[in-house]
Structure 1
Amino acid sequence: MRADHPIVGAWRLELDDACVEIYRIGRDGHARITSAEEVAEAEFQIDDEPGADGFYASVNRIVKDNGKRDCAGQVTQPGQAMPAFILFHPSGDQLLMCRDRNTRACIGPLVRIPTQDI
């Protein structure tokens, strides 16, 4: 991933049931994800540039998990790969994570957390 990639930083997702997920994605592609009681470490791969449709193809592979339940009540198993297509808002401060290269099945928006708030 390029060092100035727009995905680098921290992102907050507030879910309907008042549960919060935080994604911290570093320039080296390593990510730390917190979701309810879960704390996971992941390797995050994403295209350097979006496709013609504006979506970036990505894969988030969990490499370590504390074995506790996430916001969905699930326990994530290390080794699990989660492909997604990411679409950034023109401001760069929000994104959607979608199952396909369209916005019919997405989670979000995830909102960028200012660096000083991390």
Structure 2
Amino acid sequence: MQHTLLRPTILPVLLCAAALQLSPARAADPAVPAAPAHPIVGSWNWTLFGGKCTETFQYRANGSMLSTSGDAVTEWIYTVTPQASEKGFYKVVETSTKQNGKKDCSGDVVDEPGTAHTRFIQFSPARDRFIACKAESLAACFGPLSRTQW
């Protein structure tokens, strides 16, 4: 019996077809944990109060996020839209799951676990910075946060 190998030119076509079959289910989700290639995945920081305090956000591809701000350390789960809106914003919903009860850079204690916050983020063209806003508008935003790790 003779084994037949796929010719090298056929294999990429088969892989492409398999990827296309998986994408419709993913695209139907309005907000999901970030795919590894999503621009939000990675570590970001923002220094405020004249360099006296830094906030760090580590978004993981599995939908979890760790943030530090002052003495506060908080764990979150999050969802993010896979594509930016027509206005250029990604909708991110973050829900706290665990916090240490200490004060953040603003002197506040993070809300109790289970509290959800919605942010609308917009990336720089190089995707190495983003601003976080209360709505799909530049009227009430903070940042920019800078990427520290991919």
Q: Deviations over 1:30-78 (max 9, x none)?
A: 0000000000000011101001111001111110000100111111121
Identity of aligned residues (%): 36
Q: What is the one-letter code of the residue matched to 1:93?
A: D
Partner of 2:85: 51
Gaps of 5+ in 1: none
> TM-score, structure 2 length as denominator?
0.74
Q: Which has the larger radius of gyration?
A: 2
Say what the alpha-carbon RMSD is for the aligned residues: 1.0
* Residues matched between the structures, number: 115
Tell whether 2:15 aligns with 1:15. Answer: no
The one of 115, 133, 143 aligned to 1:80? 115
Q: Secondary structure at the match of 1:63?
A: strand
Tell whether 2:101 aligns with 1:67. Answer: yes
Q: What is the one-letter code of the residue matched to 1:61?
A: T
Q: For 1:7 and 1:29, how far apart are their aligned partners in 2?
A: 11
> TM-score, structure 1 length as denominator?
0.93
Tell whether 2:38 aligns with 1:38. Answer: no
Q: For 1:15 and 1:100, how far apart are their aligned partners in 2?
A: 21
Higher relative contact order (CA 8 A, sep 6+): 1
Cα deviation, residue 114, structure 1: 3.2
Q: For 1:20 and 1:74, how far apart are their aligned partners in 2?
A: 14
Structure (1 or 2) with the greater strand fraction: 1
